[in-house]
Amino acid sequence: MNKAQLAAVRELQACAQRLGRTPTQSHFKDDPETNLSTREIAALWPGGWREALGAAELKPGWDNQSLIDSLKRLATQLGRVPTARDINASPDLPSAAIYIQRFGSLREARQEAELVGLEPNSDQAMIQAGLQMAVQLGRLPGWNDWVKACKEDKSLPSQWQVYRRFGGDAGAWKLFQYCLIEEGAQQGIPLSF
C-alpha cells in the first residue's frame, strides 16, 4: 500500500468510527472531518470505492440490521411510514431498490422494521391523511381538494389510489368521506356531509 492509499484508509476508518458503521460515499462526503474527496479515494484503487473500503477492512454495503435501523430513523424523522420516494430522496439511505432486493418488497422491509399499521397506501393511512385534510379545510375533502394536496405533498397517495382503494366505482369517494366521518367521530372531530 502506498502513502496516499494509507492516508485514505486512515480517513475511511476514522469516518467509520465517528459514524459507528461503514460510511457510504454520501456520509463520507458530508463528514466535516475528512480531508479527501470520495473521488480521490476511489481513484486510488482499481476497484474504486468498494475496494477502498476492503483495504480499510470495512464491510462494503449495508447489512440487514443497518437497513432496518435507517428505515426506522427515517420514519421517526418523517412522522410516518416512508414511501419509496422518501427512501430514494434520503441521502442517508440506499435506494428503495436495495430494500426490495434484500427483503423482497418495501412492505416486507417495513414489517421487518415494525413499521406496520400506517402503510402509505393502506385504508387507515388514507383515512388519517383525509382526516388531517378535513381539519385543515374545516370540511370533508373533495376530489379537487385531494388533487391540490397531492401537488403540494408528494407523499400522499393520488386521488385515483384513494378512489380505487375504496371500491373504484361511482360511490367510492362518498365511501371514503363516510369513513372520514366515522374516524372523526371516534377522535372527537365532528364532520358531516
Whole-number pLDDT of residue 120: 52
- DSSP notation for 82-109: PPHHHHHH-TTS--HHHHHHHHSSHHHH
**The model scores a pTM over 0.95:** no
The lowest-confidence range among 36-40, 138-142, 152-156 is: 152-156
Q: Report pLDDT digits (tens) over 25-46.
A: 878 888 899 999 988 988 998 8
Which amino acid would we find at residue 118? Answer: L
Cell of 164: 380505487
Cell of 73: 430513523
Q: How far apart are CA 56 and CA 13, in angstroms?
A: 6
User: Domain spans of the chain?
Assistant: 3-55, 64-112, 123-186
Q: Is the pLDDT of residue 10 over 80?
A: yes
